Amino acid sequence: MNFFRSALFLLLATPHTFLAGSLIALMWPLPLPWRFKVAAGWRWLINIMLRYVQGIEVKVEGLQNVPQQACIVLCKHQSAWETVALQNYFWPCVFVLKRDLFLIPGLGWGLKAIGMIGINRKAGTSALQQVVEQGKQRLKAGINVIVFPEGTRMAPGESVPFQPGGAMLAAKSAYPVVPVAHNAGTVWPRNAFIKRAGTIRLSIGPIIDTVGLKTKEINARAEHWISGEMLRLSPPGTSL
């Protein structure tokens, strides 16, 4: 059943994503809010597919922690699920992602046209500067910036030290940080075709006021909260 659900989801989501991304790219000369409306429609339908085709439900905690102003979201990264789900709670938003994704027909065109922040991970300091510069622009425009500080998807129970990009943006801009934890990897594993029907638990943490804080301190606070919350959401021994 999980194989059938996953195959049907892929069959439906792929052309929908290609068409939506292509339409957003064609709308490049138009105001950004118009492109965001198309992206919101794409997200809405993908969420329906996830719920009724894939059988994935979501239980959310901490919605009261979502700020009224633009913010920087530092989120645990376990699967492709969070790239869709986080849009439901931090809209409008952009992600910091690999620049190579812009080359994907349809999807990549749309990502670039909607203002996602694409970086070359091997570029070092210049990549950090790009995150800070473009991130400030998005925040000033009222757009949330979502960063996966681990830099790559991690299997349940695994983690790596946080990279400085998102925290540096927060330190340089003084916008608040919202840490987010979830256990999506137990339902939708990284790089996996077959996804399980089940419930994902998403926890939105308390706002971190970044005024006067340095990059390392912001990262430490976010990492401490996310690590502790992951132990609660996905205790040691949790299996796929």
Residue 219, in any domain of the structure: yes
Closest of 139, 152, 24, 145 to residue 95, by C-alpha: 145
Residue 168, in any domain of the structure: yes
pLDDT per residue of the chain (240 residues) written in tens, 0 to 9: 899 999 999 999 999 999 999 999 999 999 999 999 999 999 999 999 999 999 999 999 999 999 999 999 999 999 999 999 999 999 999 999 999 999 999 999 999 999 999 998 777 788 899 999 999 999 999 999 999 999 999 999 899 999 999 999 999 999 999 999 999 999 999 888 999 999 999 999 999 999 999 999 999 999 999 999 999 998 776 555
Angle between helices 165-173 and 125-140 (to 10 degrees): 50
Residue 239, in any domain of the structure: no
Q: What phi and psi values does residue 233 have, to the nearest 5 degrees?
A: -75, -35
Residue 238, in any domain of the structure: no
Residue 13, in any domain of the structure: yes
23 HSE (CA, 13 A, CB side):
15
Residue 146, in any domain of the structure: yes
pLDDT tens-digit profile of 120-144? 877 778 889 999 999 999 999 999 9
Q: What is the Cα–Cα distance from 158 to 237, expressed in whole angstroms?
A: 12
CATH number of the domain where residue 66 is located: 3.40.1130
Range of the domain at 57: 2-233
pLDDT tens-digit profile of 169-194? 999 999 999 999 999 999 999 888 99
Domain tally, the chain: 1
Closest of 217, 222, 198, 220 to residue 58, by C-alpha: 198
